[in-house]
């Protein structure tokens, strides 16, 4: 781990210098960017967790930069289609990627990619963290995680969990649960998390490890049953829901982060300005309330620390993928 992170430190050293130089010259980015719109590419379907945070980011940047920032969805192949598009875009600050934990899983799932998940990008900021919630349709005869595990073991492959796609962090969260508990929940991949929620509400699938923003209101309304959260601690929005570790899955912990990335080679001035504006925007009380209500926690990290997080998670989850044997569709 130390080797890749040491290389990243050298690569991003000038970014810290860029922060100071931009603060001293507030018009630097206005002179660098043209008036054409800035696009945030979301490698997931509209309506999901990533999409929600991307639109909030676009709104904040539009207000602060005075340049239109739009969200464009390019989903598919475990987020690799959107990521490849941004990796090959001009490093001029006009094309950005809203990446998630799934971004660093692609190489382990699909093998050789047309881009490098780390080297092909310049991190701007890690923006938010969120738990997944193990949720079931109310018809499932399990009131707790322990009961669901017992039910799944007694009826192998009869219970299905949906995810936003093969090789996604949502898929991996469920696969890890199966591996640690011996439950045999059958995976059903979708093209985005909104389809998962639709079929879960209809009872077409029985359960999912869903992003909090996708199901929080549905749980609160009693339309879905929450059995446990995947993080080490309970979440403030649903304090009565235990963690999976508390529910007998000792050592289980998984979460999702979102980070804004630019193509490699993007100037330090642009990266630093975007980071500064997002930090200011996400610390705004109105934005923090919107994020809390959606079920996510703002946790801004600077570019270097974002890069280190990406390396750590790629190494951690790549091992899990190999051990479990996850393969592409």
Per-domain boundaries in the chain? 2-130+256-324, 132-229
Percent of the chain residues past pLDDT 90, beyond the cut: 63
Give CATH for domain 132-229.
3.40.190.10
Which residues 6+ apart lie within 8 Å of 108 measured at CB? 314, 317, 318, 321, 322, 326
Tell me the pTM: 0.82
C-alpha span between 255 and 101 (Å, rounded): 8
The pLDDT value recorded for residue 3 is 55
Asked if the domains 2-130+256-324 and 132-229 are classified in one and the same CATH topology, the answer is yes
| Burial letters 56-73, b for 16+ CB under 10 A, else e | bbbebbeebbebebebeb
Domain 2-130+256-324, CATH homologous superfamily name and number: Bordetella uptake gene, domain 1 (3.40.190.150)
Please say whether the beta carbons of 175 and 327 come within 8 A.
no
Separation of CA 146 from chain center: 27
Q: Quickly state the pLDDT bin for 20 (edges 50, 70, 90).
A: very low
Q: Would the pLDDT of 10 be above 70?
A: no
Backbone angles phi, psi at 199, to 5 degrees: -75, -30
Q: pLDDT of 151-196, one tens digit each?
A: 999 998 899 999 988 888 899 999 999 999 999 999 999 988 889 9
The pLDDT value recorded for residue 19 is 39
Region of residue 242 (phi > 0: left; psi between -120 and 50: alpha; otherwise: beta): beta
Region of residue 39 (phi > 0: left; psi between -120 and 50: alpha; otherwise: beta): beta
């Amino acid at each position: 781990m130390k080797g890749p992170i040491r290389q990243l430190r050298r690569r991003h050293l000038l970014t810290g210098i860029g922060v100071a130089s931009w603060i001293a010259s507030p018009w630097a980015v206005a002179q660098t960017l043209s008036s054409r719109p800035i696009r945030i590419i979301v490698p997931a379907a509209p309506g999901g967790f990533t999409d929600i945070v991307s639109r909030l980011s676009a709104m904040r940047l539009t207000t602060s930069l005075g340049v239109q920032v739009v969200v464009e969805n390019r989903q598919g192949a475990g987020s690799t289609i959107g990521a490849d598009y941004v990796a090959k875009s001009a490093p001029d600050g006009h094309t950005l990627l809203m990446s998630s934990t799934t971004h660093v899983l692609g190489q382990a799932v699909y093998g050789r990619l047309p881009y490098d998940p780390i080297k092909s990008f310049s991190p701007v900021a890690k923006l938010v963290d969120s738990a997944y919630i193990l949720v079931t349709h109310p018809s499932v005869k399990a009131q707790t995680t322990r009961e669901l595990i017992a039910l799944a073991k007694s009826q192998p492959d009869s219970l299905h969990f949906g995810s936003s796609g093969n090789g996604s962090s949502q898929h991996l969260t469920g696969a890890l649960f199966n591996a640690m508990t011996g439950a045999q929940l059958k995976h059903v991949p979708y093209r985005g998390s909104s389809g998962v929620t639709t079929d879960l509400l209809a009872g077409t699938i029985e359960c999912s490890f869903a992003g909090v923003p996708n199901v929080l209101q549905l749980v609160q309304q009693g339309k879905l049953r929450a059995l446990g959260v995947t993080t080490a601690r309970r979440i403030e929005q649903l304090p009565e829901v235990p963690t999976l570790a508390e529910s007998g899955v000792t050592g289980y912990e998984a979460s999702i982060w979102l980070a804004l990335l630019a193509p490699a080679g993007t100037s330090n001035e642009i990266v630093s300005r975007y980071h500064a504006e997002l930090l200011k925007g996400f610390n705004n009380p109105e934005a923090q309330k919107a994020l809390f209500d959606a079920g996510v926690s703002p946790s801004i990290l600077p570019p270097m620390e974002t890069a280190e997080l990406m390396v750590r998670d790629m190494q951690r989850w790549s091992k899990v993928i190999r051990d479990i044997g996850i393969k592409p569709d």
